[in-house]
Amino acid sequence: MEPWRLVGQRLGPVGFLTVQTQTFVTPDDRHTDWDVLIGDRTVAVVAITDDDRVVLAKQFRPGPGRVLLELPGGMVEEDEDVVEAAARELSEETGFVAADLALVGQTWLASYATHRRYAVLATGCRQVRLQRLDQDEFCEVVTMKLEEFLSHVRSGQLTDADIAWMCLDRISPWPHAEI
Q: According to the model, what pLDDT value does residue 171 have?
A: 84
What is the separation, in whole angstroms, between the first and last Cα of the chain? 31
| pLDDT < 70 stretches in the chain | 9-16, 172-179
Within 13 Å of residue 88, how many CA atoms lie on the same side as its CB?
Answer: 13
* 133 DSSP assignment: -
Q: According to the model, what pLDDT value does residue 53 have?
A: 97
Number of other CB atoms surrounding residue 73 within 10 Å = 24
What are the residue boundaries of the structural domains of the chain, listed by start? Answer: 42-168
Class level of CATH domain 42-168: alpha beta
Q: According to the model, what pLDDT value does residue 176 have?
A: 47
CA distance 175 to 92: 28
DSSP SS3 for 91: helix
> Which of 122, 65, 52 is closest to 94 using CA atoms?
122
- How far lies 169's CA from each of 23, 97, 164, 172, in Å? 38, 22, 8, 8
User: Residue 118's beta-bridge partner residues?
Assistant: 43, 106
CA distance 121 to 21: 35
Q: According to the model, what pLDDT value does residue 16 have?
A: 63
What does R_g of the chain's alpha carbons equal in angstroms? 18
CA distance 71 to 2: 19
CA distance 171 to 169: 6
Identify residue 101 by its one-letter amino acid code.
Answer: L
